[in-house]
Amino acid sequence: MRLVADIGGTNMRLGLAGQGALQQESVRSFSNDGVSGAEAAIDRFLSDAGTAEITEIVLAVAGPVTGRQARLTNRDWCIDADRIAVRYGAGVRLINDLTALGHAVPILSGELLHPVCAGSVADGGSGQSLVVGIGTGFNVCPVIDAGETVCFNAEMGLATMPTGVASALDALRPGLAPQFLMVEDLFSGRGFVRFCQLVGASDGLTAAQIIDGCRTDARLAGAAEDYAGLLGWLLRDLMLAYMPMAGIYFAGGVARGLLSTGAGAHCLKVLHRPLPMGVPAQCPIWLIGDDAAALQGCSRVMI
Ligand SMILES: Nc1ncnc2c1ncn2[C@@H]1O[C@H](COP(=O)(O)OP(=O)(O)OP(=O)(O)O)[C@@H](O)[C@H]1O
């Protein structure tokens, strides 16, 4: 039996997998604030599940994986594969959480994959797709499907904000676009909240409360639309960097919230402006509605 876990900056999901497939009914979620660390959550999960015979553990971590260790970008936790292997007597592999989502792409389907934009897939999209995660932090995973699925590690959230986003932000609110803003300073839960404060639409609301308020409050809805437009500017650079003509797959709490409002149209409006040299921008776009999708990727990878 394999234990799989997706450890984000705010939330953690755990489950059991056998023969390369996730056992959906085993999946449990924890708020990271409610546990002292990843191992405490694993202990609680295993004790609730009453499962003793774990032989493999695959942990998807929201931060860079360096050899047998990983540090969460947005929480002061360090995950040590060797220590966990000794503690649970199992083989352990660490992968980046977006890379885990990339491995899930070929098996995502059904009601938990929502179409955002139909697009047009010329020549099968060359098998190149891109997962874009906006949650506590931001990251991407370029995926190539060439018979087998190849996923690339990235740390895009830590990159400097592209100038297109910075100048669009500056146009919305002159003087507020810092030169060296990191991508996830804006595209993340805290970034969304900060943006809505900067444009004077909200004060003290959480990201989820802002999204809820969009239905009845025109100022909040307008801020969400402007924010989605900024995301469109970022997507243009991601289109040029990765040419994901087989599709873009959004994941994460902020992406799910934002795209549940009408704001997604503003993102597409910016994205679909002509790109340099006639590079096509019309790829299919999907929203991964399944919060446990990374666990499916963890279930499929070799240990
Ligand atoms: N309905 C919502 N709309 C917008 N944002 C939301 C909503 N619900 C939660 N969030 C925000 O989403 C973030 C958590 O998302 P998610 O659970 O995908 O992240 P995570 O897996 O913990 O972190 P990481 O991004 O590090 O992988 C928080 O910043 C939270 O404020």
Q: How many angstroms separate the CA atoms of 28 and 148, rounded? A: 29
The pLDDT tens digits of the residues spanning 223-280 come to 999 999 999 999 999 999 999 999 999 999 999 999 999 999 999 999 999 999 999 8
Give residue 125's pLDDT band: very low, low, confident or very high (50, 70, 90): low
pLDDT at residue 174 in the model: 76
Q: Which residue has the higher pLDDT, 163 or 191?
A: 191
Q: Which residue has the tokens 């932000």?
A: 169
Give residue 166's pLDDT band: very low, low, confident or very high (50, 70, 90): confident
Q: How many angstroms separate the CA atoms of 300 and 284, rounded? A: 24
**Does residue 134 have a pLDDT over 70?**
yes
Q: How many angstroms separate the CA atoms of 92 and 240, rounded? A: 36
pLDDT at residue 178 in the model: 62
Give residue 177's pLDDT band: very low, low, confident or very high (50, 70, 90): low
Pocket test for ligand 1, best of 136, 158, 195, 295 (most atoms within 8 A of CB): 136
Q: How far, in Å, from the CA of 252 to the mean position of ligand 1?
A: 6
20 torsion bin: left (phi>0), alpha (psi -120 to 50), beta (else)? left
pLDDT at residue 89 in the model: 96
Give all strands (DSSP E) within the chain, no chain letters.
Answer: 2-7, 11-18, 21-31, 56-61, 65-66, 69-71, 78-80, 91-96, 113-117, 128-134, 138-146, 148-151, 247-251, 285-288
The pLDDT tens digits of the residues spanning 11-62 come to 999 999 999 999 999 999 999 999 999 999 999 999 998 876 899 999 999 9
Which residue from 168, 162, 121 is spatially nearest to 145, judged by alpha carbons?
A: 121
- Taking each helix axis from N to C terminus, what angle separates 218-242 and 163-172, rounded to the nearest 10 degrees? 160
Mean pLDDT of 8-13: 97
Q: How far, in Å, from the CA of 196 to the mean position of ligand 1?
A: 16
Give residue 118's pLDDT band: very low, low, confident or very high (50, 70, 90): confident
Residue ranges of alpha helices (H) inside 134-188 are 163-172, 183-186
Whole-angstrom Cα Rg for the chain: 19
Q: Which amino acid is at 133?
A: G
Q: How far, in Å, from the CA of 89 to the mean position of ligand 1?
A: 32
Q: How many angstroms separate the CA atoms of 135 and 9, rounded? A: 8
Q: How many angstroms separate the CA atoms of 298 and 301, rounded? A: 6
Pocket test for ligand 1, best of 11, 72, 184 (most atoms within 8 A of CB): 11
pLDDT at residue 123 in the model: 55
The residue whose C-alpha atom lies closest to atom 29 belonging to ligand 1 is 189
Least confident of 45-49, 90-94, 172-176: 172-176
Residues in contact with ligand 1 by the CB-under-6-Å rule are: 8-11, 62, 74, 97, 133, 135-137, 189, 206-208, 211, 252-254, 257
Q: How many angstroms separate the CA atoms of 188 and 156, rounded? A: 12
Angle at 183 between CA 134 and CA 38, to 5 degrees: 50
ipTM: 0.98
Percent of the chain whose pLDDT exceeds 70: 96
Looking at residue 55, the DSSP 8-state letter turns out to be: -
**What domains can be seen in the chain, in order of their start residue?**
2-102+293-300 (3.30.420.40), 119-283 (3.40.367.20)
Q: How many angstroms separate the CA atoms of 6 and 21, rounded? A: 15
Which residue from 48, 37, 51 is spatially nearest to 2, judged by alpha carbons?
A: 51
21-31 and 56-61: which strand pairing?
Answer: unpaired
Mean residue pLDDT of the chain comes to 94
Q: How far, in Å, from the CA of 184 to the mean position of ligand 1?
A: 12
The residue whose C-alpha atom lies closest to atom 3 belonging to ligand 1 is 257
Give residue 172's pLDDT band: very low, low, confident or very high (50, 70, 90): confident
CA atoms within 13 A on the CB side of 46: 19
The residue whose C-alpha atom lies closest to atom 9 belonging to ligand 1 is 253
Q: How far, in Å, from the CA of 157 to the mean position of ligand 1?
A: 14
Q: How many angstroms separate the CA atoms of 88 and 55, rounded? A: 8
HEC-encoded secondary structure of 219-288: HHHHHHHHHHHHHHHHHHHHHHHHCCCCEEEEECHHHHHHHCCCCHHHHHHHHCCCCHHHCCCCCCEEEE
- β-partners of residue 30 are 12
Q: How far, in Å, from the CA of 133 to the mean position of ligand 1?
A: 10
**Does residue 176 have a pLDDT over 80?**
no
Q: Which amino acid is at 88?
A: Y
Pocket test for ligand 1, best of 7, 10, 97, 131 (most atoms within 8 A of CB): 10
The pLDDT tens digits of the residues spanning 283-297 come to 999 999 999 999 999
The number of the ligand 1 atom at minimal distance from the alpha carbon of 188 is: 29
